[in-house]
Amino acid sequence: MTTAKKNGTAKSNATLEAAAKAGAEAIAQGYEQVYANTKEQMDKVNEFAFQGHPELADFNKETVEAVIASSNVVAKGVEDLGQEIATYTQAAVEKNIETAQKLFAMKSVQDVFDLQTEWAKSAFDGFVAESAKLQDMSMALGTKASEPINKQVNAAVEKFVKPITA
C-alpha cells in the first residue's frame, strides 16, 4: 500500500508538472505571438513616422514661410487701409472748411439752411461710399491674406492625413 500511495502521488505530481509545463508553454507562445504582432504594428508606425521626418521639417519650414507671406499681405493691406482713411479724412476736412467759409458768406437764413442740407447729404453719402469701399478693401485683404495659410493647410491634409486614412 505504501508503494501504491507513492506511485499514485508520483503520477499525480507528474501530471501536475506536465499540466503546469504545458500551461507555461501555452502562455509563452501566446505572449510571443502578442509580442510579435505588437512589434510588427509598432514597426509600421515607426516606419511611417520616421519616413515622414524629413518631410515634416520641410513642411514646418513651408508653414513658417506661409505665415510670413500672410503677415506681409496683412501689413501691406493695413497700410493701404490707413492711407485710404487718411485720404478720405483729409478730403472731408477740406470740404468742411470750404462749407464753413461759404456759410459765413451767406446773407439769408434760407441760404444757410440750403447749404447745411446740401453739406449733410454730401457728408452722409460720402461716408456711406467710403465705408463700403473700406469694407470691400477689408474683405479682399482677408481673402488675400488667408491664401498662403489655406494652401499650407491643404498641403498638410494631402501629406499627412490622407496617407493615414488610406
Tens digits of pLDDT across the chain (166 residues):
455 555 556 666 666 567 666 766 766 676 567 666 666 766 665 666 556 566 766 777 788 888 888 888 889 999 999 999 999 999 999 999 999 999 999 999 999 999 999 999 999 999 999 999 999 999 999 999 999 989 988 888 887 766 666 5
Give the integer Cα–Cα distance in Å for 127 and 88.
9
Supply the DSSP symbol for 52. T
Q: Which residue in the block uniquely carries the three cell numbers 499514485?
A: 8
Give the integer Cα–Cα distance in Å for 160 and 7.
69
Please compute, for residue 119, the number of CA atoms within 13 A of its CA located in the half-sphere on the CB side: 18
Burial of 145 (0-12, 13-18, 19+ CB in 10 A): buried
Give the integer Cα–Cα distance in Å for 155 and 161.
10
Query: The whole model's pTM is what?
Result: 0.59
